[in-house]
Structure 1
């Protein structure tokens, strides 16, 4: 690869520890060092702390970690800074499956290179990377149709656009056959040869693949059992009385020792021999490190040339393309809501023009607002959980910020939501025979749109709290059924206990229902025709219904303000909830 090299990054750490939130020790004062331009394997049994080690060192998750000394090129640094000059690929590769390989690369180039590079320069970098990673023949293939090996290579190519100095990979060969594994490791070796530090965890490695690594770092029970070159492993074991059979894969033998297959005491013996990683630091003095000094320090390695507004525009374009290629959910949302609205309109056919059916008309308002609430709540609830892992990766690798992603989702969903709610409300409004007075219709549409957007925002908020559809349904039932019950959907306002009646006044369900009732029965006084077969129609003047239910026809402004307050509050709370969820 001919991309400009800004020097190597040599990383040394001493007494690195990490624990869970409950205090369980995962890493116990491990030490070591990784020289730039090296391919490093992190080995160890399952549960030994390999992924935690990678998470901490990469700055991906370091909240419960401590380190006595952390240096890069001889200068003190911290986990946050390490995150800013590196990229991290988790074990499960998450890509934008609806975009082609080339589109994924183009959007990544826009995010990472910004406006300081011309389109021709970006195209040259993309072409070079696709050629280097063997993806040229799949340029027009959607990422969702790539093989496992191709997905991993594409994920690597995406991160190489910003020229990271350190690349972390969590088990990049898991689930791949031996031939594909060799290809992936060969690509990683090629990347390391350009001066970058490539650090990856490996669950199991054959002897021929083990030799491809420049350095092995072995973790057992949260401690370092060996650090050194693969070819030095057998002499190390011989020196400490643990000879490896000539026909045995040294890497497998070492893992078996770390698992305690030859006795639990062997683990402690290895950790003591390696001085928990400190032996490598002692034998490789920092005076030998070819440091790369810069005028203003190491932080000039950060490659982030895109402005906030430019990244936001790129994200809007990308998410719009994805949305336009996944219209099934949008169609189902639109058609499902409108079909139910049509059914409600047919059931309550022409009740709005009949003075003898005013109470039925009241039930129609309850039915249509219930449709808006339940439909608007369930549709967005899983949109965030389905993409959360992808968002986490892109956030850590500095594609965009949480605020940019959140604003993009809200703005792109807004026209779809408005069209769905308004059309749904108007269809039922027409078939149920409601008044065609302009002011009455406009007020009804405003309340339907506002109520729909509030519940849509609440649904998205619930999406930041749940991880499965079952838990989403349970959360909806636990929160919405009581809300609807005290908001006039199951019990009349005047029949509520005093305290519940006051509480419901601040709820979006009651204010949405009350606003629609005012639009249908309030405003300018009018008289409905009473059928000839009826002797008397008490609700010939429909505003009487509002009086009977204790609703002030002039409260529509108050109801609207309550819905606006709900919308703003929920949007803000959702942002912070999403930000917290993505930080876990």
Structure 2
């Protein structure tokens, strides 16, 4: 009887929530093109597709290796979640609570199909009676993660516009997307800061407050009007007032008919009062799942009444926690509570609701569009060119809006180039000065290498977490991000190398012909871009700034030794000879030397017969003038080769297990 009532309730909920089959269109109202203008557009984004999400007999194990490098033992399975069953329905706000290590974050990761690669998961998850998968869930849900990751140089409004261009359905026009952005800014109280840069205190960029950042994270997910919302610790790092403000936002979202699930740690009594239902966890098991008002009576029935004037949330968490020094008694008490819940009326009612959702199927006229999601060939809502326009626009803004970085690069380039000019100034074309001139050319190469490699490493590794999150949210492709990042950075790695060569070139006394000057600038620009490509590759392989910086120097130094300055090409041991051909120092040094000395003749008593030629100087350094175009081709090949390796390394990070 209870099962039939639950089926009827689910069916009535689906009818009240705006499900429609007008003229054979099985899409929910929130996805239809309405014909009456702005008012109908507003209605389309206030109606919500009903979603009942249930999970049944969820068990999660983590395999841990045993033994050491000398003796291996079979891996041991550690159970993290034990037979967890639950359900959340449209219009409900469910809070998952428990002490540290209770399993609440693991359960949320399981429900959202995230961060579960090393875990063995058993059990079933159902969305409106259908078995759910990653693509289906991502299509109709939003996920606000604990860490707020934003591009700091964008304003609040620009960030939401970027999200709207890539995450909203294709049938919406640009003006409709921007209208929705304005609605969300107003709904979440971001009007005051909509034109303020998001900022990043760690990078010295002032921006919005912590509470505004959290509301912006919600705005990014609410923008597409998802039917199901997940939040991981939404109040972390906020004061009590701001925490209550954020939870009130979630409460308002649930009141529109959406299904909201969040994990939360030590909520205040005011925040606790905003929850519709709570899921208390202890040692990976369900200690209670039901309305907030029924939790007090359940614990009282177990002889654990909450004291007067005591925050119920604190009491539940403290009661279910494993107290240090009292582990045996704490685990025994938690087990008794979990066992009592399973046999209680509240526990049996949840089982009936889950069973009803599992067997519940909407009729054909109200079919839930899971099939449409499953057959999609592409997980992206925007076309390739739309993705390119949006990501390239953001990449350009990121470069142009960090004047401090550009100023530092400019100062570094000008200062070092002037220092080189002062040190090497006035080198006349005499045999005794050849070594000095070669040293200046080699300084061009080494400075361009280290300056650009380490500059790229810091930028790329800081953006990787943002890229991975947005990519997994189905916003844009890996090749789009990599191409846009490359094109946006290209002017910087052309202009600064040109300035770096221009300042000391004539002060040093290098080959004065205009053609030779521009060729030297071109070679240094190519070397700078090879170093940039190498920095991309290191960053994408390492994934973190610390690892990338640790890898960079040991990989650069061996290539530096084969540049022809410390060791002549002909003296390289045969078993290391192959390393010369992946050294941009060798290609760049030989090309700059050929450009400097070919066609040069000067008189000097030290020279044989009193006359020195550029060809003789090149021969002394074991450089071949006929290999100039090979050197240019080698530099271009290294640019392309390193970037391809960087792209494939980045692509490998986007693969994850289903």
Cα deviation, residue 165, structure 1: 1.9
Q: Secondary structure at the match of 1:264?
A: helix
SS of alignment partner, residue 124 of structure 2: strand
In the TM superposition, what is the alpha-carbon distance from 1:455 to its structure 2 partner? 0.8
Kept in 2: contact 1:211–1:231 (CA 8 A): no
Q: CA deviation at 1:75?
A: 0.8
| TM-score normalised by length of structure 2 | 0.81
Matched, 1:41 2:95: yes
The residue aligned with 1:463 is 539
Secondary structure of 2:579's counterpart equals helix
Report deviation, 1:241. 4.2
State the shift of 1:204 in Å. 0.7
Alignment partner of 1:287 is 2:356: yes
Residue 637 (structure 2) pairs with residue 565 (structure 1): yes
Helix, strand or coil for the counterpart of 1:559? helix
Asked if residue 527 in structure 1 is aligned to residue 601 in structure 2, the reply is yes
Question: Are residues 1:220 and 2:286 paired?
Answer: no
- 1:364-513 aligned at under 5 Å gives the runs 364-437=440-513, 440-466=516-542, 471-513=547-589
Q: Which moved more, 1:393-402 or 1:450-459?
A: 393-402
| Change in 2 beyond 3 A, CA 1:477/1:78 | same
Shift in Å at residue 380 of structure 1? 0.9
Contact 2:91/2:254 (<8 A) preserved: yes
Within 5 Å, which residues of 2 pair with 1:259-298?
Answer: 259-261=321-323, 263-275=330-342, 279=348, 281-287=350-356, 295=367, 297-298=369-370
> What residue is the counterpart of 1:349 in the other structure?
425
Structure 1 residues 414, 535: CA separation in 2 closer, same or farther (over 3 Å shift)? closer
| Alpha-carbon distance between aligned partners in 1 of 2:169 and 2:395, rounded to the nearest angstrom | 18
Does residue 139 of structure 1 match 2:181? no
Alpha-carbon offset, residue 163 of structure 1: 1.3
CA distance in 2, matches of 1:348, 1:122: 59
Q: 1:255 to 1:476 in 2, by over 3 A?
A: same
Deviates more, 1:165-174 or 1:251-260: 251-260
Q: For residue 202 of structure 1, report the CA deviation from its aligned partner.
A: 0.3
Shift of 1:333: 1.6
Match in the other structure for 2:241: 179
1:364-387 residue CA offsets vs partner (Å, 9 max, x unmatched): 221111111111211111112223
- Contact 1:483–1:507 at 8 Å: present in 2 too? yes
Secondary structure, aligned partner of 2:95: strand
Contact 2:462 2:545 in 1 (8 A): no
How many Å apart are 1:49 and its aligned residue? 2.6
Alpha carbons of structure 1 residues 412 and 103: separation in structure 2 relative to 1, 3 Å: same
- How far off is 1:526 after superposition? 3.2
Residue 172 of structure 1 deviates from its aligned partner by 0.7
- Listed one character per residue, the Cα deviations across residues 17-44 of structure 1 (whole Å, up to 9, x for unaligned) are 4455746543344222221221111111
C-alpha separation in 2, matches of 1:537 and 1:88: 80
Indicate whether 1:112 and 2:154 are aligned. no
Q: Which residue of 2 aligns with 1:7?
A: 49
CA RMSD, aligned part only? 3.0
Give, in whole Å, the separation in 1 of the partners of 2:405 and 2:129.
53
Which residue of 1 is the match for residue 224 of structure 2?
162
Once the 2 structures are TM-superposed, how far is the Cα of residue 214 of structure 1 from its aligned partner? 1.8
| Offset of residue 355 of structure 1 | 4.1
CA gap 1:349/1:151 in 2 versus in 1, 3 angstroms: same
2:34 aligned partner: none
CA distance in 1, matches of 2:129, 2:250: 25
| SS of equivalent to 1:88 | strand
Match of 1:553 in 2: 625
CA distance in 2, matches of 1:237, 1:370: 70
Q: Distance in 2 between matches of 1:569 and 1:29?
A: 51
Contact 2:102 2:281 in 1 (8 A): yes
Q: Which residue of 2 aligns with 1:235?
A: 297
Shift of 1:363: 1.5
| Aligned partner of residue 353 in structure 1, secondary structure | coil
Tell me if structure 1 keeps the 8 A contact 2:80–2:103: yes
- With 237-246 and 128-137 compared, the bigger mean Cα shift is at 237-246
Instruction: Please show how residues 53-92 of structure 1 align to structure 2 within 5 Å.
Output: 53-65=107-119, 66-92=121-147
Moved more, 338-347 or 228-237: 338-347
Query: 132-141 vs 266-275, which deviates more?
Result: 266-275
Question: Secondary structure of 2:457's partner?
Answer: coil
Q: Separation in 2 of the partners of 1:370 and 1:171?
A: 47
CA distance change for structure 1 residues 60 and 129 in 2, over 3 Å: closer, same or farther?
Answer: same
- The answer to whether the Cα contact below 8 Å between 2:560 and 2:583 also exists between their aligned partners in 1 is no
Structure 1 residue 332 and structure 2 residue 408: aligned? yes
Distance 1:120 1:498, change over 3 A: closer
Contact residue 352 and residue 361 of structure 1 kept, 8 A: no
Q: Deviations over 1:462-481 (max 9, x none)?
A: 22355765554432222222
Q: Tell me the TM-score normalized by structure 1.
A: 0.90
Q: CA deviation at 1:555?
A: 1.4
Q: 2:539, 2:545 within 8 Å by CA — same for their partners in 1?
A: no
User: What secondary structure sits across from 1:69 in the alignment?
Assistant: strand
Cα distance change on mapping 1:403 and 1:467 into 2, 3 Å: closer
In the TM superposition, what is the alpha-carbon distance from 1:280 to its structure 2 partner?
Answer: 5.5
